[in-house]
Chain A
Amino acid sequence: MQQEALQEITAADTLEALQAVKTKYVGKKGLITQQLGGLGQLPPEERKARGAEINVVRQAIQAALDEKEGTLKRAALDAKLRSEAVDVTLPGLGLPSGGLHPITRVYDDLIGIYRQMGYAVVEGPEVEEEHYNFEALNVPWYHPARDLQDTFWLEDGRLLRTHTSPMQIRYMVDHEPPLKIVVRGKVYRYEATDATHESMFHQLEGLVVGEGISMADLKGTIAEMARGLYGPSAKVRFQPSYYPFVEPGADFAVYWDNPRGESKWLELGGCGMVHPNVFKAVDDLREQAGKDRIYEGMTGFAFGLGPERIAMLKYGIPDIRYFYANDPKVMGQFRGELG
């Protein structure tokens, strides 16, 4: 019987056929089961030996059944998996991938550096009063420095801010020193557009006010920014310059180890020690608003730079007009880690 059973097991090529064989031999009414059931009619001395014999047969059949079942199940699974195969080289659904504007990315880089140094980040109005844009920043209406910033005037006498510096005034009027801020935002100049000039662009402005703030602190701060932007070996150079709202004033340049081209000094922006007339103008405005005069006698520094210029240099963008054309073929390139 064992021989027959094993042959039938081998012949079974489906799980259903194997189940039938199983039922035939080891099922409740199977042949083996019946034989085991017949043991009771044998004399006790025979019963033990016969029982052992049948059990050996039963175990052999059961082992063969289990093995065959495993084989058949594996084959069935293999067939199922084969039938489910997908050509994974076909493209997936073309779902959108978003991205930030390159100016935002440069702001994120810069502001990240200043956040680490404990600066607050603020914004302010783009339509500005003449007083905040010029007078309070030590640029009276008759000052030739106004020629440096060609202005879009509004019909109501206000103007489009020519720099983010008016936020120095607004912020100081509303807050008390010591303070450390950076200001981000759009600025406007009455200027014909070409590859390097735009009538609208962006600035990052910094202001630190406290007691005993020095120009060396300013230079160290710009150097920290330079290291954050251009790596640990970045160097900073200061040269005398003039901005009416600072004294002494400087232009700063960063030595850039360009991995893709000529290394050179990059003129990045202007800076200086806050002019006492600016503190006076702030205190005048505070007094008008019923607040204490607290800025005169303070020292501080301010700096400003343009993210467009940094982006153009950093990403190799040849024309400033790319920033506001919003060409998907250009914007789509600014994803992930960039160079």
Chain B
Amino acid sequence: MNIPYSWLKELIPALPPVSELEPVFANMGLPLEGVEDAPSVPAGVILVEVLSAEPIPETKLTKITFDAGPEHGQHTIASGAPNAVGLAAGTMLALVTPGTELGGMTYGVREMHGVESWGMAASEKELGIGEQNAGVMLIRAGEAPAGTPLRDLWPEDTVLDVEVTPNRADVLSALGLARDLAAFLGLELREPPAGPAAAGAGEIAVSLPPKGLVLERDTTGTYRDGCDHFVARTVAGLQNGPSPLWMQRRLTLSGMRPRDLIVDASNYVMLELGQPTAMYDRAEVQGDQILVSFGLRQGEEVRDLLGGTHTVGQEDLLILDGRDRGISSVAAAFGSAGQPKEGQGVLGIAGIVGGEHGHVTAQTSSVVIEAAHFDPVLLRRTASRLGLKTDAVYRFERGVDPLLPPRAADRLVGLLAEAGGQPHPGATVVGDPSPSIPGPIETTGDQIRTLLGMHIDTAEMRGILTRLGCAVSGEGDALTVKPPSWRVDLHIWQDLAEEVARLHGYTELPESLPTLRVHSSNVGASQASERRDALRRTLSGLGFQETVTYTFTSNEEAGKARTEVPGVRLQNPMTADRTSLRTALYPSLLKAAGNYGKGERALLFEIGRIFPAGGETERLGLLMRGDLAARTYQDGVQGGFSVFKGLVQSFAAASGASFELRQLRGDEVPAALHPGIAGEVLWNGQPAGWLGALHPEIAADFGLKGDTFLAELSLPLPAGEWAFRDPSRAPAALRDLAVIAPADVSYGEIVGVLKGAGGELLEQVEPFDVYTGEQVGAGNRSVAVRLTYRGAKTLTEEDIDPVFNAQIDAVKAQGWAVRQKAEG
């Protein structure tokens, strides 16, 4: 929120200089996001009074004759500004006098189409004080004597950009911010002037929606009042036009664009007091009646004053006039009889935006002022459905002081009266805002001290809360606190504890540590995390680089990688390549591998989550490309399946797990893998994922040349049992055996048979020769293995023979042949 320093200074005369405020705001919990100098204009820019404005024939220019004050006298300019056409005598302009430098240019006297052009009539943008650039800056008649330097009325300032958290609706105004600042610094606050209080009844009849609305979505069954406070006042006799310069200046410095007197006055009251108001052209408000409706006009199209079109939903609050019917009561209004014509009579979408119907124009001379308190939830719901983010709803959804409407209406009446309007003395005030005002909170000084862990005297707490506008009572340590109506964020004693700490100073908080012994249910909660850490350390020690990749994917990428089509899809994707959540890790690793140079070794892992149809789960992905060690002046170590498998074997061994691959064939092979180089990982004997070579077509689609090897394992990895084994000192006995089996029988299957029959004495099976050729017959393969046996004592032939023979029998039972070699 932007606010000029001078405004705060007016409300707090003793306010320290800007240079000292940054830590103050930060310690209030309202940090400054920016502090910007707002410059004034050069001394040579003066106010001039228009005497006449007439078109210059055969041009689009206007000849303006003006009085530049006693010093300069009367001059003319030729202006091409659209709003110079037909300027009324008496209107004032900001004139850059000849000889004045502005924006790097020095203006002089020229002749244009036979007209002496004395200086230049400038726009706010040209003057560097605003954004308006569609025409010259217009200043209302009588603002100041002609010849007055603009900088006297528009001095330089400093704009503070205050970051306001959603709970602090009360500081979204000059008064609110000054109130908190004054309380924090213990300084006197000067409230802005009050407007003329209403006396008697107003001219506009107002009906509110029934109380106790329940929103469809609200499962809590909370009853809501759509509008619990509504004030309508009227002002006639207005001449709409530019608002006073001081008002334009404050609006501009606060980031709003001045429009005209009526709109500016409404916006000004919002900036000053925090109450959004609506202004309707009274001539358009049919029957002098206003109905705040809920649930009416569903599906109708409503045009707003900015030209946007919105469709009314089933739970919207609308402001309707009395068109096509006299609204005698709420009951009548909600009856089905006399429904008005489509789209007619909608003055606005309550608290969000005014309608095209009834909006204020340059010709408006009489207005209806609406100052109301609407339900924050209803308004937020409508605004977010319609995608409308207005200054008004921003405040309403955060919480406007429910008691503020009469004061805001009065202030608005006062401002319009100052500008020549003739207010009606009465006001229509309906509704009962009391349920929206926070009730008293019971607490004690001890309770607050214990929560904060900081000593603050109860007396100081009373002082702090009183300074904040709370009514504080209670004896001794007891505190009964009634927050002010504007602090709609204070509900529980912890909220008060924060206020006490905030004003006492968070900087005063001492530092201690919790002393507690955790409940036994928490013991061991870290185990999964510790296992992940161990995996990361082991893999990085083996030479793998950890990656962290995006969880997002797209159907296109999933298709390219041949992984499961993503089923967890984003409602609101940001880009076309991030429409859903990944169903496997390897596509992410393939993309990461793409960052490595051609032929550069990539050895990567990632621990991450995937989102397949079976639900969110965690995976470990591994990838290898390129040589293990590149060839240089000497031979390197080529990469390849065996190296990759070897690294994963080492990983398993370092993790204390047994590791095997089961050959996958046909339909079992994951789509990612080469159909002939694919295995199921058995980790501690349990299926845990797959390992193999990337399918060459996928590699090509990902632009990866050369072989890529992948593994993807589910986490947590299956645990193994561990027990200390006293190593046997007895020597090993070795037997060699060649198994001749069909070539499509995997080594793993052969070992499985040998181990199955090997009993406890079999310590190890190692292949030492794999042979295909004539000697073993076409379609066959010979795998020669060395069998190592070891027992508690030295094994004899009699010990080994039965085992060895059982193994041979088991092999033969598979239909395979053996060739027994001489024992080694």
Known A94-B636, A215-B452: A242·B165 in contact at CB below 8 Å: yes
Chain B residue nearest to A331 in the complex (CB): B545
B549 touches A324 (CB 8 A): yes
A96 touches B543 (CB 8 A): yes
Contacts of A84 in B (CB 8 A): none
List residues 534-549 of chain B with CB under 8 A from any CB of chain A. Answer: 536-537, 539-549
Contacts of B525 in A (CB 8 A): 120-122, 171, 175, 181
A210 touches B516 (CB 8 A): yes
Q: Looking at the assembled complex, report how far the CB atom of A120 sits from the nearest CB atom of chain B, in whole angstroms.
A: 4
List residues 505-537 of chain B with CB under 8 A from any CB of chain A. Answer: 506-507, 509-514, 516-519, 521-522, 525-526, 528-530, 533, 536-537
Give the CA-CA distance A212 to B494 in the complex, in Å.
Answer: 14
A175 touches B519 (CB 8 A): yes
With an 8 A cutoff between CB atoms, is B629 at the interface?
A: yes
Known A127-B611, A152-B570: A98·B29 in contact at CB below 8 Å: no
With an 8 A cutoff between CB atoms, is B498 at the interface?
A: yes
Contacts of A120 in B (CB 8 A): 518, 522, 525-526
Segment from B195-203, B413-421, B601-609, B657-665 that makes contact with A: B601-609
B514 touches A180 (CB 8 A): yes
Segment from A1-9, A24-32, A216-224 that makes contact with B: A216-224
Could you give, for residues 64-91 of chain B, a 1 whenever the CB lies within 8 Å of some chain A CB and a 0 otherwise? 0000000000000000000000000000
A210 touches B536 (CB 8 A): no
Majority DSSP secondary structure for residues of A touching B: mixed
Contacts of B653 in A (CB 8 A): none
Contacts of A174 in B (CB 8 A): 521
Q: Looking at the assembled complex, report how far the CB atom of B745 sits from the nearest CB atom of chain A, in whole angstroms.
A: 34
With an 8 A cutoff between CB atoms, is A248 at the interface?
A: yes
Segment from B47-55, B376-384, B476-484, B671-679 that makes contact with A: B376-384
Give the CA-CA distance A304 to B217 in the complex, in Å.
Answer: 31
List residues 543-585 of chain B with CB under 8 A from any CB of chain A. Answer: 543-552, 568-572, 574, 578, 581
A148 touches B166 (CB 8 A): yes
With an 8 A cutoff between CB atoms, is A288 at the interface?
A: no
Q: Looking at the assembled complex, report how far the CB atom of B436 sits from the nearest CB atom of chain A, in whole angstroms.
A: 15
Contacts of A240 in B (CB 8 A): 27-29, 498, 501-502, 506
With an 8 A cutoff between CB atoms, is B233 at the interface?
A: no
Contacts of A244 in B (CB 8 A): 167
B376 touches A142 (CB 8 A): yes
**Chain B count of residues within 8 A CB distance of the other chain:** 92
Chain A residue nearest to B528 in the complex (CB): A123
With an 8 A cutoff between CB atoms, is A195 at the interface?
A: no
A326 touches B501 (CB 8 A): no
Known A98-B603, A126-B616, A325-B595: A217·B630 in contact at CB below 8 Å: no
With an 8 A cutoff between CB atoms, is A247 at the interface?
A: yes
Known A90-B633, A200-B550, A215-B452: A121·B526 in contact at CB below 8 Å: yes
B168 touches A224 (CB 8 A): no
Known A120-B522, A153-B570, A239-B31: A98·B629 in contact at CB below 8 Å: no
Known A152-B570, A179-B522: A98·B513 in contact at CB below 8 Å: no
A98 touches B541 (CB 8 A): yes
- Contact partner of B451 (CB less than 8 A), chosen from A90, A96, A273, is A273
With an 8 A cutoff between CB atoms, is B410 at the interface?
A: no
Contacts of A94 in B (CB 8 A): 601, 629-630, 632, 636
Q: Looking at the assembled complex, report how far the CB atom of B399 sits from the nearest CB atom of chain A, in whole angstroms.
A: 9
Contacts of B543 in A (CB 8 A): 95-98
| Chain A CB within 10 A, most for which of B31, B512, B514 | B514
Known A215-B451, A216-B454: A127·B511 in contact at CB below 8 Å: no
- Contact partner of A239 (CB less than 8 A), chosen from B29, B549, B552, B572, is B29
- Contact partner of B526 (CB less than 8 A), chosen from A97, A117, A122, is A122
Contacts of B616 in A (CB 8 A): 125-127
B551 touches A186 (CB 8 A): yes
Known A215-B452, A242-B168: A153·B513 in contact at CB below 8 Å: no
Give the CA-CA distance A99 to B536 in the complex, in Å.
Answer: 9
Could you give, for residues 705-739 of chain B, a 1 whenever the CB lies within 8 Å of some chain A CB and a 0 otherwise? 00000000000000000000000000000000000
With an 8 A cutoff between CB atoms, is B596 at the interface?
A: yes
Give the CA-CA distance A156 to B615 in the complex, in Å.
Answer: 13
Known A91-B632, A104-B546: A326·B166 in contact at CB below 8 Å: no
With an 8 A cutoff between CB atoms, is A46 at the interface?
A: no
Known A98-B540, A156-B568, A248-B494: A237·B507 in contact at CB below 8 Å: yes
With an 8 A cutoff between CB atoms, is A93 at the interface?
A: yes
With an 8 A cutoff between CB atoms, is B766 at the interface?
A: no
Give the CA-CA distance A188 to B376 in the complex, in Å.
Answer: 28
With an 8 A cutoff between CB atoms, is A101 at the interface?
A: yes
With an 8 A cutoff between CB atoms, is B453 at the interface?
A: yes
B595 touches A326 (CB 8 A): yes
B453 touches A217 (CB 8 A): yes
Q: Looking at the assembled complex, report how far the CB atom of A214 sits from the nearest CB atom of chain B, in whole angstroms.
A: 3
With an 8 A cutoff between CB atoms, is A254 at the interface?
A: no
A238 touches B492 (CB 8 A): no
Chain A residue nearest to B380 in the complex (CB): A142
Known A104-B536, A180-B518, A248-B494: A216·B548 in contact at CB below 8 Å: no
B506 touches A238 (CB 8 A): yes
With an 8 A cutoff between CB atoms, is B330 at the interface?
A: no
A127 touches B516 (CB 8 A): no
Known A104-B536, A125-B616, A216-B512: A326·B549 in contact at CB below 8 Å: yes
With an 8 A cutoff between CB atoms, is A77 at the interface?
A: no
Contacts of B516 in A (CB 8 A): 178, 180, 208, 210-211, 213
Contacts of A239 in B (CB 8 A): 26-27, 29, 31, 506
A98 touches B539 (CB 8 A): yes
Q: Looking at the assembled complex, report how far the CB atom of B528 sits from the nearest CB atom of chain A, in whole angstroms.
A: 7
B501 touches A215 (CB 8 A): yes
A98 touches B548 (CB 8 A): no
B509 touches A216 (CB 8 A): yes
Give the CA-CA distance A206 to B504 in the complex, in Å.
Answer: 26
With an 8 A cutoff between CB atoms, is B787 at the interface?
A: no
Contacts of B498 in A (CB 8 A): 240, 247-249
- Contact partner of B397 (CB less than 8 A), chosen from A95, A144, A200, is A144
Q: Looking at the assembled complex, report how far the CB atom of B513 sits from the nearest CB atom of chain A, in whole angstroms.
A: 5
Contacts of A221 in B (CB 8 A): 513-514
Contacts of A143 in B (CB 8 A): 166
With an 8 A cutoff between CB atoms, is B450 at the interface?
A: yes
Give the CA-CA distance A244 to B521 in the complex, in Å.
Answer: 28
With an 8 A cutoff between CB atoms, is A62 at the interface?
A: no
Chain A residue nearest to B168 in the complex (CB): A242
Binding site for B on A (CB under 8 A): 90-91, 93-101, 103-104, 108, 111, 115, 117-118, 120-123, 125-127, 140-145, 147-148, 152-156, 160, 171, 174-181, 184, 186, 188, 190, 192, 199-200, 208, 210-217, 219-221, 223-224, 236-242, 244, 247-250, 273, 275-276, 299, 301, 323-328, 331-332
19 A-B pairs besides A121-B530, A238-B509 with CB distance below 8 A are A94-B601, A100-B537, A100-B540, A101-B547, A122-B526, A153-B570, A160-B570, A160-B581, A210-B516, A212-B450, A214-B450, A217-B513, A219-B511, A220-B513, A237-B507, A240-B27, A247-B494, A248-B494, A326-B549
Query: What are 29 inter-chain pairs, A to B, with CB distance below 8 A?
Result: A93-B629, A94-B630, A94-B632, A95-B629, A96-B543, A99-B546, A101-B547, A104-B546, A104-B548, A120-B522, A126-B551, A142-B381, A142-B397, A144-B380, A154-B571, A175-B525, A178-B518, A199-B574, A214-B452, A216-B512, A238-B507, A242-B29, A247-B497, A248-B452, A275-B494, A276-B494, A324-B550, A325-B595, A327-B595
Q: Ordered nearest first, which 10 A-B pairs have the shortest CB separation?
A: A216-B453, A214-B453, A240-B29, A96-B543, A248-B498, A242-B165, A220-B511, A98-B540, A120-B525, A178-B516
Binding site for A on B (CB under 8 A): 26-29, 31, 165-168, 217, 220, 376-377, 380-381, 397-398, 450-454, 492, 494-495, 497-498, 501-502, 506-507, 509-514, 516-519, 521-522, 525-526, 528-530, 533, 536-537, 539-552, 568-572, 574, 578, 581, 592, 595-596, 600-604, 609, 611, 616, 628-630, 632-634, 636-637
